[in-house]
Amino acid sequence: MRLKTAIWVAGYLRRCQGAGIFGVVRKRGAEEAGAVFVKIALMDGNALLFVPAPQSAYDDSRPVERVFTQSPPQPAEEKTIDARLAKEINFDPDVWIIEVEDKEGRHFLDLAKS
């Protein structure tokens, strides 16, 4: 059984805060099971975006947990990332958008192994 999204987000932001990194909920989605997108602002006009991994990235032998993948795989201009997030919100209004500011690009997410 997976944690409710609201609880997962609170824990994630606490993890960031514990490392001295500023993070905020930019858009609050469905409490129970909204998809989570994490934007890491690199403070130079570029950002990283972490999105829910495709279902094929989940390992059936482990408990259900959130798995992320970086998309695009390299930093992109923040306006490009913001445009992608706007499309995601239009497609699914229940998504959560988390924004973190870290020059080093630290994200504290377990990434899907491709």
DSSP line for 26-48: EE---TTT--EEEEEE-SSSEEE
Residue with token string 């959130």: 66
Question: What pLDDT, in 10s, does the model give residues 92-105?
Answer: 999 999 999 999 99
Asked if residue 111 lies in contact with residue 40, where contact means CB atoms within 8 angstroms, the answer is no
Q: What is the mean pLDDT of the segment spanning 25-41?
A: 93
What tokens appear for 3 in the block?
Answer: 């944690």
Asked if residue 8 lies in contact with residue 36, where contact means CB atoms within 8 angstroms, the answer is yes
CATH fold of 5-101 reads hypothetical protein tt1805 (3.40.1530)
**Does the pLDDT of residue 12 top 70, yes or no?**
yes
Per DSSP, 88 falls in state: H
Helices marked H in 1-114: 5-18, 78-91
